[in-house]
Chain A
Amino acid sequence: MTKYLRLFRVQLGISVAQAMAYRANFLLEGVFGIANALLTLLPLIVVYAKADEFNNWTYPDALVVMAYFQALRAILEGVISPSLVDLVQNIRNGSFDYVLLKPVDAQMLVSAARYEPWKIFDLLFAIGLAVYAFMLRGYPPSVPDVVFGLALLASGAVAMYGLWIICAALAFWVGRLDNLMFLLGSIFDTARWPVAVFPGIWRLFFTFVIPVAVMTTFPAMAILGRLEPRQAVGTLVGAIALLAVSRVVWRAALRSYTSASS
């Protein structure tokens, strides 16, 4: 285990060093990230300008979901997505061979191969947004709720990672699927809304088929102190199940890797 932690640290160090070599670019990306985060926020503001609440979701509560969404998107675009884009490319041109040759688990090695450190700005924005939302609510969350909310943020990230690994593993069979990642990204985009504002069938779809609700709405409900124990258990079990399924799919996919170059 410590071996893997050391590995992740080294990989992070390399990415940070690379990013710091282009400092102007680093800051520019940060500015873009914040601008993009503000643009993401606008539709929510517009919709809530016309009514105080939708299906029991007030504006500050919806902002907390948005904060979770922005935080998860920062994790997705900062860690998961760049690594897996590299993976798909390596599978296509055959350099995945070199990954397999190394004496560590291949999934571990590719999962955090490349970071985009400037996404830290997005993460900071998300934290600021959550703080602002609780200021609007008028009272801070209780300590257990914060702990619980952060735990479910982690489980949301795990669920997201599982889903993305499954998607990336498909590249072993079909070769080209850069845009499948785009598709997944555009579905993930719905996670910015509390799942309760969607009609019934979509709610089921986003909870059970492509569980974006598990990633943002339920963790947000946890920190807001309105998550029922049943839903909490479901969220955690769901995340672990997705992780397990992704491991199975990954191993099956690995067996059918034929290498592109040799």
Chain B
Amino acid sequence: MTGLVRTLKAMPTLLRVGVAETVAYRAEFLVWVLTTTQPLIMMSLMTFITRSRPFANYDASQFVAYYLATLIVRQLTGNWTAWQMMDEVRLGTLAMRLLRPIHPFFAYIAQQAAAIPFRAVIALPLAIILLVTSSGATLPHAGYQIALMPVSVALAWLVSFAVMFALGTLAFFMTQAMGVGNIYFGMFSLFSGYLLPLDLMPRVIAVMADYLPFKSMMFIPLQLITRPQSLESCLHLLATQAAWFVGSWLFAFFAWNRGIKRFESVGT
């Protein structure tokens, strides 16, 4: 319990450090932001394809709304913890983190959380464009659904972080974790709805997506943002995310505890 109190006490400082780091490497941060161009490319592709006839149950304006929402969620929830961890394990600098009296999980999470305000600055204009271009006609209006959108994005952030952290622990088990990183991104693109809406995917992929965490990281918040839902189905979607939140956090700690025993701290 003292560990938890200590972590909570340290959080404000960790967050300040995170903000300072983001500001210090602002050019780098901006380039990272620009690398998320894929939804824009898919948007122009799909709207061009649908200009004469709708594609399954999506027309051009729905694709625009879908991919703008994808950009917003990606901006707000994206993080690169796994790549950082892989580097730190490979170079041995992780040893420095282990000396500190705070679990690295929380040190990393503070760092990523500190970037949220900067990410929000980018997401906000996108949200406005989304509202203007789709004229708001097809977007959800119900008060309860609008209120639940931030909750869903927050849950997506929490699941994303745990999944990235678990991915980072792979570096303990194998030297070439980066190759897995590519596969991971491919799977994420496919099963989260990042590339194409899951309801357009072949049935087998849609079914598999139900058993993977990626849906909670992207497609569920997208459904809340772009499609009107009944209160019951909103709560059902959030419950799914909450379950994945608990599961992914437990798994992240489990993977860390297994992996850290193998850490040999190269070069120190």
Contact = CB atoms under 8 A, between A and B. Distances in A.
Verify that A and B bind, or say they do not: yes
Interface of A: 22, 25, 28-29, 32-33, 35-36, 39-40, 42-43, 46-47, 49-51, 54-55, 174, 176-177, 179-180, 182-183, 186-187, 189-190, 193, 197-199, 202
Contacts of A29: 176, 179
21 contacts: A28-B176, A28-B179, A32-B179, A35-B183, A35-B186, A36-B186, A39-B183, A39-B187, A39-B190, A43-B190, A46-B201, A47-B196, A51-B55, A179-B28, A183-B34, A183-B35, A189-B38, A189-B41, A190-B41, A198-B48, A199-B47
Interface in B34-58: 34-38, 41, 44-45, 47-49, 55-56
B190 A42 contact: yes
A46 B200 contact: yes
A43 to B, nearest CB: 5
Contacts of B41: 189-190
Nearest to A189: B38
Contact of B44 (A22, A183, A202): A202
Size range of the chain B interface in the assembly: 20 to 34
Contact of A186 (B38, B196, B200): B38
A197 to B, nearest CB: 6
Q: Which 5 A-B pairs have the closest CB atoms?
A: A39-B186, A32-B179, A179-B31, A199-B48, A186-B35
Given A47-B49, A55-B48, 17 more contacts: A28-B176, A39-B183, A39-B190, A43-B190, A43-B195, A46-B196, A46-B202, A50-B56, A51-B49, A54-B49, A179-B31, A179-B35, A183-B34, A186-B37, A186-B38, A187-B37, A198-B44
Interface in B177-206: 179-180, 182-183, 186-187, 189-190, 195-196, 200-202, 205
Given A25-B175, A54-B49, A199-B47, A176 B28 contact: yes
B144 interface: no
Given A193-B45, A199-B47, A43 B179 contact: no
Nearest to B28: A179
A34 B196 CA distance: 22
Nearest to B182: A36
Contacts of B56: 50
B122 to A, nearest CB: 15
A102 to B, nearest CB: 27
B32 interface: yes
Contact of A32 (B27, B34, B44, B183): B183
Interface string B168-180: 0000000110011
Nearest to B31: A179
B40 to A, nearest CB: 9
A197 B48 contact: yes
Contacts of A22: 175
Contacts of A47: 45, 49, 196
Contact of B176 (A25, A54, A190): A25
Nearest to A178: B28
Contacts of B37: 186-187
A31 B189 CA distance: 19
Contact of A40 (B47, B48, B186): B186
B166 to A, nearest CB: 18
A43 B205 CA distance: 11
B44 A199 contact: yes
A103 B201 CA distance: 56
A258 B55 CA distance: 55
Contacts of A199: 44, 47-48
Nearest to B201: A46
Contacts of B180: 32
A187 B38 CA distance: 8
B206 to A, nearest CB: 11
A29 B175 CA distance: 11
A179 B27 CA distance: 10
Contacts of B196: 43, 46-47
B182 A32 contact: yes
A43 B48 CA distance: 16
A50 B45 contact: no
A40 B32 CA distance: 22
A182 B31 contact: yes
B182 A198 contact: no
Interface in B1-60: 27-28, 31-32, 34-38, 41, 44-45, 47-49, 55-56
Nearest to B179: A32
B236 to A, nearest CB: 26
Contacts of A182: 31-32, 35
Contacts of B45: 47, 193, 197-198
A42 B189 CA distance: 11
Contacts of A46: 196, 200-202
Nearest to A45: B202
Contacts of A186: 35-38
